[in-house]
Amino acid sequence: MPTPYPPRIAPARGIVLLAVLALVTALAGLLSPLTAQQTAVTGLVRDDVGNPLPGATVRLEGEDGRTSVGDADGAFRFVGVAPGEYTLSATYLGYSAASATVTVMAGATSTAVLVMQPAPLEVEGITTYGELTRGQAQALNAQKNSPNLKYVISEELFDLYPDINAAETVQRLPGVSIARDQGEGRFVQVRGLGEQFNSLTVNGVRLPSIGRGSERAVELDIVPSSMVEEISVTKALRPDMDGDALGGTVDMVYKRPGSEPFLHLDLGGGLNDQQSEIDSWGQGIVSVSGNAGTRFADDRLGILVAGSYHDTERGSLFESWRYVEDEGGELSRHRTTDYDVGRKNMGLLSSLDLQYSDTGELTFAVNWQHYLEDEIRRLAIYNIGPLTEQRFTGNRVREQDMLFAQLAGDQQFGRARLEFQGSWSQGEEDWPDITEFRWTRSNPMLAGLSDAEIDDLGAMSTFNGVDAPLTLDYAYFYPTSVESGQQSAGADLTVLAGGSGNSSFKVGGRFTSADRTYLFSSVRSTPTDPSTFTIEGGTFGLPEVKFDDPEIGQLGLSSPLTPADPRTNASSYEAEERTLAGYLMNTTDWSDRFTTMVGVRVERTSHDYLQFSTGNEGEGSYTSVLPSAHGIVRLDPNSQVRFAVSRGLSRPSFRSLVPVDVVDEEDLEISRGNPELEPTTAWSFDLMFERYGNQLGFLSGGLFYKKLQDPIAGGSYTESVGGTQYTVFQPLNGGSATVYGFEVAAYQRLSALGLPLFRHLALNANYTWNHSEADFGSEREREYPLPNSPEHTGNLSLIYENPNAGFTTVVAGNYRSYMWEKFEGGQLHNDIWTGSEFHLDVSMRKDWTRGLSTYLQLNNLTNESDREIQGEPSESFSRIHERESYSWWATLGVRVTR
C-alpha cells in the first residue's frame, strides 16, 4: 500500500505553541507569591462525605452582598475584602444551606470549608437519600448559575442510562437528536441543525474530525461515556467560546482526580440479537472499564488513570427498493444486504492536577482512543427490467486513532484571574482494505414474480430452474486514509471591577491551527476468463478475503489489485486552516435579580489547499465579527428568565474548498471545489423560563429563532472545455434559511405528590418543536426544511431509585420525527426523507453491599430500524426507499467501587 503522505503542519509550530505555554506557566509561577499580599477569603464547599459541590453559590454577608460561584472543585474566592469578621453562607439545590464565620486580617488570606448536608426528601415520615440526588444537584446548579443558556448532565445521572458512547448520552438532553450507524449513536444534531453545524469540544477544546465523509462533524462513537464526568450542551454562544457552532456546542469534561482515593471497575457481557440471515462472527458483547485516582503531597497533587474496552459483534439487514415510475408502485429493483460487523473501541485516559500555590493550579490530561471495525457485506441485487441477478461481497477494515493532550492553568492575581490552556490532538482514520467482488447472471425467473414476491427476496434466495452460476465481473480495491490534526493555545484574563466585585471584564484570545490530508486510490480488475471463479445462486464468495490474500491470485485477473499512488488521484488533497480569535466581554450583577453578560468576539480565518494530482492550489481568508448579549432576570430565588442574542458561524467543509476538478468524460460532468466559499452565519435569539424546585425539581420552557445567511448548497452551470460543453457542479453560497421553535424540559421527583407509592419515582422529560425553512432555488415546487432537521424530538424517562433496597431502574424512551434528507434525481417525488424513530431502553441496577453492584441494560426494545422514505411521509404519496434493521441488545455486568 502507498505510504500516507505526511501532513503539512510544520513541527516547528507545535514547538512554538509549547514554548508559549511554558512561558505563561513560568510567569504564573513567578507571580503567584505576589497574591499572598492580597486580602482575600477563599474556601471549599463539600458534601457530608467530602465530595466537592461544583457551582455552589457562596455569599459574603456585608460587603454589598458579594457572591461567588464555586468552580469544578467546589472552590470559591473573594479578593480585596476589608479586614473584619464576616459570615459566609452557601446554597446548593438539593442541599440544606450551610454557613461559617471568618475573620479577615489585612494582607492575609482567610480560608473556610463549608460542609453541606443533603436535604432529605420526606414523604409521610419516610426519609430517602440516593446517589442520584448528588448527580442531579450538580447538573441543576451548573445550569442555574451559568451566565448563558445550557443544559448539563452529570456522571451520576447519565450513568443510570444504558448508553455506550457520548452521542447516546447527549440525546437525552432537550432539543438533541442523533444519527445512528448499526444502531449505535454517531452524530449529534441540535435544534434542527445537522452535525456539521455543531461543535464538539473536550475540556473546552474542539476536536478535529477524522471521518472520511464527516468533514467538520466529529463522530462521537469513538468517545466512551465511561471516561466522561460531565456533558453540557450550550445553545447560546458566549464571546469566550469558539464561534463555529450555529446549532450548539457539546462539551465533554473528562474525569479528574477526586478529593479522596477511589477505584471503580466495571465488567459486562451481553448479546446482540441479529437481523441478518448470515451470522459468521457471533453475537457477543464484552465491555470492561475502570478508573482510579488518589492525591499526594498534602492533597496538592491529584492523579487519575482510566481505561475502557468495548467489543461488540453486530448483524444487520439493509434493504432498498426502486420503482418503475415516478408514482407507480411497480418494483424495478430490490436490493438486500447482509452485514456482519465487529467493533472494538479501546481508550486510555490520564489526568493530573497540581495546586502549586494557594491561588494557582495546573491540570494536564492525555487521552488515547482506538476504534477498529471489521465488516463483511453480502449484497444481492435483483434487477427486474434486464432480468439479471447480481451478488457482491464487500470486505472492509476501518481503524481510527485519536490522541489528545491538554495543559491548562488557573492563577489568581489579587482582583485578576488568569486562565491559559494549550492542546494538541492528532487523529487518523485508515481504511487499509476495502475490497469488493461482483458476480452476475441472467435470471429469467424474475419476470414471473409479483411485487410481493420481489419484496420477499432476500440474501439467501434461490430460484428453481436457473442452473447457470453467477460469474465474476470484477474485483475492486480502494484504500482510503484521512489524517487530521489540531493545535491551539490561548489565554483569558478576568478582572473584577468596582469595590463590590459584582462586575468583571474578561479579555482573551486563542490561536488554532488545523490540518487535514485526504488520500484515495482505487483499482478495478476484471478476470480474463469469467468462468475462472463462479458461485451458485443463494451463496456469496470470498468473505473476509483481503486484496493481498492468496485467493486473489487464483481469480485470473487481468491486472493485480495494486492501486496507483493516491497523490495521482483527483480526489486526494491536503488542507490547512488557521484561526486567530480575540474577544472582550463584561459580566455585571446589576442587582440580586438582574445579571447581564455582553461582549464581542472577532475571528480571523485563513486557509490554503492543494490538489495533489494537478498541483492546483487555493487560498482564502475572512474575518467574522460575532457579538452576543445574555441576561438573567431572577423572579425569586428559584425562578428566572434568560434571554440571549448571539451570532455564530459554520465554516465550509475542507473538501468543498479544495480546488479539485474531478472530470467524468462519459457524462460530461465536472465536480469542482470552491476556495471562495464564505462561512454560513446566523443570528440566534433565545428566551427561556426556568424554575428550580426544593426537591431537585426543574421546569423550563422557551422559544428560539435562528436566521441563517449564505448557507452552502450545490450549484451547477455549463462550461466549454476544448469545444465540448460540460456541466459543472460546484458548492456555492446563496439563499437563506430560518429555524424557530420552542422546547420544554422537566425533572420532578414524584414524592412531591405526597403519595407513598411514588416516593421513589422521578420523571425526566423534554420536548422540542422545531420548524425550518430553506431556500433551495426557484426550480423547487415546494418549500423544504433544512436537511436532517426533525420537527419533533422528545425524551421521557421514568426513574425508580430506592436507596433503602439498593435498587435503581430507568425506563427511557427517545423519539425523533421524520426529517427531510436530500433530493435524489430530478423527478417530482424523488425527495428522500428519514423515517421517524422511537427507541425504548431499560437499565436496572442492584447494590448488594457497599461498593458492589450488578446491572442489566436492555437497548432498542422496540426493534426500531433506520428508514429512508421516498416522498414526505405525511403526504398522500410516499413509499419505502431504504431500511436498515439491527434489532435489540442486552448487557449484564458487575461494578466494584472502593
Q: What is the pLDDT of residues 322-337, one digit of tens each?
A: 888 765 668 889 999 9
CA pseudo-torsion sign 169, 171, 176, 180:
positive
Name beta bridge partners: 67: 59
Tell me how far CA of residue 816 lies from CA of 248, 268, 532, 676, 812, in angstroms: 18, 29, 50, 36, 14
Give the separation between CA 519 and CA 575, rounded to whole angstroms.
Answer: 12
* Other CB atoms within 10 Å distance of the CB of residue 893: 19
Calculate ∠ Cα 337-340-341, nearest 5°. 120
- Helices in 87-232 by DSSP H: which ranges? 131-145, 155-158, 166-170
Give the separation between CA 759 and CA 121, rounded to whole angstroms.
Answer: 9
Write down all domains in the chain, each with its CATH number in brackets. 11-123 (2.60.40.1120), 160-897 (2.40.170.20)
Give the separation between CA 539 and CA 562, rounded to whole angstroms.
Answer: 27
From first CA to last CA, the distance across the chain in angstroms is 49
CB 405 within 8 A of CB 349: no
Residue 734 has pLDDT above 60, yes or no: yes
pLDDT-based confidence at residue 852 (cuts at 50, 70, 90): very high
Look at residue 97 in the predicted model and tell me its pLDDT: 86
Look at residue 518 in the predicted model and tell me its pLDDT: 94
Give the separation between CA 279 and CA 615, rounded to whole angstroms.
Answer: 47
Number of H helices, E strands in the chain: 6, 49
Give the separation between CA 174 and CA 166, rounded to whole angstroms.
Answer: 15
Give the separation between CA 372 and CA 436, rounded to whole angstroms.
Answer: 19
Nearest to 317 by CA among 457, 472, 147: 457
Phi (first) and psi of residue 47, to 5 degrees: -90, -175
Q: Quote the cell numbers at residue 229.
A: 464526568
Over residues 295-325, the pLDDT tens digits come to 999 889 999 999 999 999 988 899 999 888 7
CA pseudo-torsion sign 705, 707, 711, 713:
positive
Look at residue 214 in the predicted model and tell me its pLDDT: 64
SS (H, E, C) 402-428: EEEEEEEEEEEECCEEEEEEEEEEEEE
Give the separation between CA 47 and CA 56, rounded to whole angstroms.
Answer: 11
Highest mean pLDDT among 23-27, 172-176, 509-513, 548-552: 509-513
Residue 127 has pLDDT above 70, yes or no: no
Q: At 101, which amino acid appears?
A: T
Strand ranges inside 330-387, DSSP E: 331-357, 360-383
Tell me how far CA of residue 438 lies from CA of 457, 476, 607, in angstroms: 18, 9, 41
pLDDT-based confidence at residue 17 (cuts at 50, 70, 90): very low
The average confidence (pLDDT) of the chain is 85
Strand, coil or helix: what is 834? strand
Residue 33 has pLDDT above 80, yes or no: no
Give the separation between CA 875 and CA 877, rounded to whole angstroms.
Answer: 5
Q: At 322, which amino acid appears?
A: R
Over residues 581-626, the pLDDT tens digits come to 999 999 998 888 899 999 999 999 998 989 899 888 888 899 999 9
Q: Quote the cell numbers at residue 410.
A: 488557573
Nearest to 749 by CA among 795, 806, 692, 702: 692
- Helices in 407-549 by DSSP H: which ranges? 451-455
- Average pLDDT of 733-759? 85
Look at residue 133 in the predicted model and tell me its pLDDT: 63
HSE of 885 in the Cβ direction (CA atoms, 13 Å)? 15
Look at residue 130 in the predicted model and tell me its pLDDT: 53
Give the separation between CA 658 and CA 572, rounded to whole angstroms.
Answer: 10
Of 69-83, 503-517, 738-752, 757-771, least confident by mean pLDDT is 69-83
CB 695 within 8 A of CB 749: yes
CB 363 within 8 A of CB 408: yes
Q: Quote the cell numbers at residue 391.
A: 451478488
Of 27-36, 68-77, 353-362, least confident by mean pLDDT is 27-36
Is residue 554 within a helix (H) or strand (E), and if so which, with residue range? none
CA pseudo-torsion sign 199, 202, 208, 213:
negative
Over residues 272-286, the pLDDT tens digits come to 987 777 766 778 999
Q: What is the dihedral of CA 558, 563, 568, 574, to 10 degrees?
A: 160
What is the b/e burial string over 337-368, where b = at least 16 CB atoms within 10 angstroms of the residue's CB? bbbbbbbbbbbbbbbbbbbbbbbbbbbebbbe
DSSP for 575-631, written as a single string: EEEEEEEEEEEEEEEEETTEEEEEEEEEEEEEEEEEETTT--EEEEEEEEEEEEEEE
DSSP for 170-184, written as a single string: HTTSTTEEEEEETTE
Residue 429 has pLDDT above 90, yes or no: yes
Q: At 335, which amino acid appears?
A: R
DSSP percent split of the chain into helix, strand, coil, nearest 5: 10, 60, 30
Nearest to 209 by CA among 346, 374, 398, 400: 400
* Other CB atoms within 10 Å distance of the CB of residue 15: 10
Q: Quote the cell numbers at residue 446.
A: 424474475
Look at residue 777 in the predicted model and tell me its pLDDT: 57
Task: Give the predicted TM-score (pTM) of the model.
Answer: 0.86
Give the separation between CA 611 and CA 570, rounded to whole angstroms.
Answer: 7
Look at residue 501 in the predicted model and tell me its pLDDT: 54
What is the b/e burial string over 644-656, where b = at least 16 CB atoms within 10 angstroms of the residue's CB? bebbbbbbbbbbb
Look at residue 172 in the predicted model and tell me its pLDDT: 87
Residue 695 has pLDDT above 80, yes or no: no
Q: Quote the cell numbers at residue 116.
A: 453541606
Residue 646 has pLDDT above 80, yes or no: yes
CA pseudo-torsion sign 756, 757, 762, 763:
negative
